[in-house]
Amino acid sequence: MAKQVYLNGELVPQAEAKVSVFDHGLLYGDGVFEGLRAYRGKVFRLTQHIDRLYDSAKGIWLEIPLTREAMADAVDATVAANGLSDCYIRLIVTRGAGSLGLDPRKCSNPQVIIIADSIALYPAEFYEKGLEIITSSVIRNHPAALSPRIKSLNYLNNILAKIEGIQAGCIEALMLNHKGEVAECTGDNLFLVKKGGLSTPSLEAGILDGITRDFVLEIAAEQGVPAVERPLTKHDVYIADECFLTGTAAEIIPVVKVDSRVIGDGKPGPITRRLEKRFREETGK
């Protein structure tokens, strides 16, 4: 069966799912998106993802031509139409086709695209042994320029940091904010464990309000692991007992080396493993 892609209200075969070369999503990164996952046929935290999408859209003055309920139904329908139970879902809303100028008023029809497929952000071995990352010299977008809370189609900031990581032999990179504080990685939020407690940068650090991050904070509370959201420095990272990243695509992945410094004993730590186990119980993975 050919893969079905949702395009503006219809499920069409993948080969027919096309958008204009004049789409401002392509020309200018003018649009917003979400990355979701379904486990056992059910989309994880669907309402939270839909709410974040509409908040991102509001942040860029983009009116989505669907109600939140209709959008959630469209996501479910796309997963079902592809007969997938465990999958990654990419939901995109672009400003639509316009002219060769920035003016968004020339774009009359936002394009709504939903793709259900698979993703392997990091090779499986890193979930076992942990990732090595570097701190990128590319700082996270200044919140006054483009808020990192807006999940926009403009990911160049993160891509540049990722390239720097790759050139240093790492597949992920840590980004600091304009104040030199730890923000997040290129597609994940960051957590540290020190003396049995969790810490993670707060939203004020200029990060995406990660849905996996939120879930980890919930399960930490449920398991009696204290957690704080506070400004973190590179030094906090270097002296942590454990470090891990969270994201829809990444799920929970341990980090064992940062800027060549060994974190803890260089192996994924017990609290990371406990949270991963609880995450797997929730998702059935």
**Nearer to ligand PMP among residue 242 and residue 251 (C-beta):** 251
Round to whole Å and give the CA distance between 255 and 272. Answer: 10
Q: Which of residues 175-234 bind ligand PMP (CB under 6 A)?
A: 184, 187-189, 208, 210-213
Is there binding between residue 272 and ligand PMP (CB under 6 A)? no
Is there binding between residue 157 and ligand PMP (CB under 6 A)? no
Q: Which of residues 60-99 bind ligand PMP (CB under 6 A)?
A: none
The C-alpha angle with vertex 143 and arms to 164 and 155, in degrees rounded to 5, equals 40
Round to whole Å and give the CA distance between 248 and 46. Answer: 12
Catalytic residue among 129, 151, 234, 277: 151
Concerning whether 162 is annotated as a catalytic residue, the answer is no
Binding residues for ligand PMP, total number by CB under 6 A:
14
Of 111, 147, 152, 248, the one binding ligand PMP by CB under 6 A: 248
- Give the nearest distance from C-beta 167 to ligand PMP in angstroms: 20
Q: Select the span of 86-94, 118-126, 224-232, 241-249 touching ligand PMP (CB under 6 A).
A: 241-249
Is there binding between residue 136 and ligand PMP (CB under 6 A)? no
Q: Which of residues 32-51 bind ligand PMP (CB under 6 A)?
A: 35
Q: 32: which strand partners?
A: 93, 152
Of 247, 254, 264, 268, the one binding ligand PMP by CB under 6 A: 247
**Nearer to ligand PMP among residue 82 and residue 248 (C-beta):** 248
**C-alpha to C-alpha distances, 160 to 69, 92, 165, 212, nearest whole angstrom:** 36, 22, 9, 23
Of 158, 199, 200, 272, the one binding ligand PMP by CB under 6 A: 158
**Nearer to ligand PMP among residue 94 and residue 186 (C-beta):** 186
Is there binding between residue 31 and ligand PMP (CB under 6 A)? no
Catalytic site positions:
151
Interacting residues with ligand PMP (CB under 6 A): 35, 158, 184, 187-189, 208, 210-213, 246-248
